[in-house]
């Protein structure tokens, strides 16, 4: 590959275009043929579509990184020791505490707060039913984060501040989910299009992205850390079902948390960790 082509490929928007092409093509086929989650075809197409960020993340890593960069990519996926103990606590407790706070605020203002999620209710009658919930909570983050944070976040942070990079990735990540609202049986289709739940989902991903970068940059760019954090978001949703008002409050709390992170740790890096910079780091502040 010549230098000119390689320089074009490092543009994060080329990665985004390739990821959307992969995912939206497969999900678009499912929509075109009316294949929902309850059919083998629909489930297969949806699962293959979710692999888009991972497939393109790995491909772009091998196309644009040298041998050291490729080794670094995989080390960040499996390196448990990259994550300080206190950040394991952040990863495990941040989301449950935030959701419980949202439920508490809802109760204080006259609401019912939350109920046990489907995973808990199903577990009571069939303990093995927890297995699909665990798979959902862990597999989907793995397939997504090998691209979103494993590859492209570094590319964004080479060009922008950590905060701007987070906001860009958050908007792109949110938009990537759009076809799922038209696939019967998907979680997103249950929310509906244009409903309050729809907007809570689409807007809520953006402040989440700031927290992801904050954790990523504090754990020496650990892809494993953000996979675990993403898993906790999914698994907490399986365990605790917030009311609509509590869900709205949770998004407000995520926005407050993202704002606090930017103020306390600084918009430039969202971190004071000296190892948060990607290989070949050359950030231009915008």
How far apart, in whole angstroms, are the C-alpha atoms of residue 208 and residue 255? Answer: 8
Predicted confidence (pLDDT) per residue in 62-95, tens digit: 999 999 999 999 999 999 999 999 999 999 999 9
- DSSP 8-state symbol, 127: G
Tokens standing for 112?
Answer: 């019912």
The pLDDT tens digits for 175-187 are 999 999 999 999 8
pLDDT of residue 262: 97
Please provide the average confidence, as pLDDT, over all residues in the chain: 91
* Closest to 27 in 3D by CA, of 8, 5, 42, 7: 42
Residue 285 has a pLDDT of: 33
Tokens at 103, concatenated: 């439920």
For the cut 70, the answer to whether the pLDDT of residue 196 exceeds it is yes
pLDDT tens profile 86-134: 999 999 999 999 999 999 999 999 999 998 877 776 766 777 667 777 7
Band (pLDDT 50/70/90 cuts) for residue 4 is low
Q: Quick check: 216 pLDDT over 70? A: yes
pLDDT at position 283, please?
Answer: 43
pLDDT on residue 136: 78
Pick 281 or 8 by higher pLDDT: 8
What pLDDT, on a 0 to 100 scale, did the predictor assign at position 129? 67
Give percent above pLDDT 70 in the chain: 91
CB of 279 closer than 8 Å to CB of 172: no
* Percentage of residues of the chain with pLDDT beyond 90: 79
Residues sharing a CB contact under 8 Å with residue 64, sequence separation 6 or more, in sequence order: 6, 9, 10
pLDDT tens for each residue of 128-153: 667 777 777 889 999 999 999 999 99
Tell me, yes or no, if the pTM score tops 0.75. yes
Tell me: the pLDDT tens digits for 223-261? 999 999 999 999 998 888 999 999 999 999 999 999 999
20, pLDDT greater than 80 = yes
pLDDT at 137: 83
Give kind and range of the element (H or E) at residue 240. strand 240-242
How much is the CA Rg of the chain, to the nearest whole Å?
Answer: 19
Dihedral (CA of 110, 203, 218, 259) sign: negative
Dist. CA 256–CA 280, nearest whole Å: 32
């Amino acid at each position: 590959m010549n230098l000119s082509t390689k320089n074009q490929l490092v543009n994060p928007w080329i990665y985004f275009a390739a990821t959307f092409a992969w995912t939206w093509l497969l999900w678009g086929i499912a929509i075109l043929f009316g294949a929902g989650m309850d059919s083998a075809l629909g489930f297969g197409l949806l699962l293959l579509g979710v692999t888009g960020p991972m497939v393109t993340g790995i491909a772009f890593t091998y196309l644009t990184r040298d041998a050291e960069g490729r080794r670094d990519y995989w080390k960040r996926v499996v390196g448990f020791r990259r994550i300080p103990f206190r950040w394991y606590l952040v990863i495990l407790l941040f989301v449950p505490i935030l959701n419980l706070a949202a439920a508490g605020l809802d109760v204080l203002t006259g609401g019912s707060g939350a109920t046990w999620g489907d995973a808990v209710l199903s577990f009571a009658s069939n303990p093995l039913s927890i297995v699909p919930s665990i798979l959902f909570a862990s597999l989907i983050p793995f397939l997504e984060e090998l691209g979103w944070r494993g590859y492209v976040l570094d590319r964004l942070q080479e060009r922008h501040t950590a905060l701007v990079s987070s906001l860009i990735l958050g908007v792109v990540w949110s938009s990537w989910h759009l076809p799922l609202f038209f696939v019967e049986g998907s979680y997103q289709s249950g929310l509906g299009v244009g409903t309050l739940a729809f907007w809570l989902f689409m807007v809520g991903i953006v402040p989440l992205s700031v927290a992801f970068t904050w954790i990523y940059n504090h754990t020496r760019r650990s892809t494993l850390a953000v996979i675990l954090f993403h898993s906790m978001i999914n698994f907490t949703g399986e365990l605790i079902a917030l009311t609509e008002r509590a869900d709205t409050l949770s998004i407000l709390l995520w926005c407050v948390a993202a704002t606090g992170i930017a103020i306390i740790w600084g918009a430039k890096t969202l971190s004071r960790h000296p190892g948060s910079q990607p290989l070949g780091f050359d950030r231009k502040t915008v």
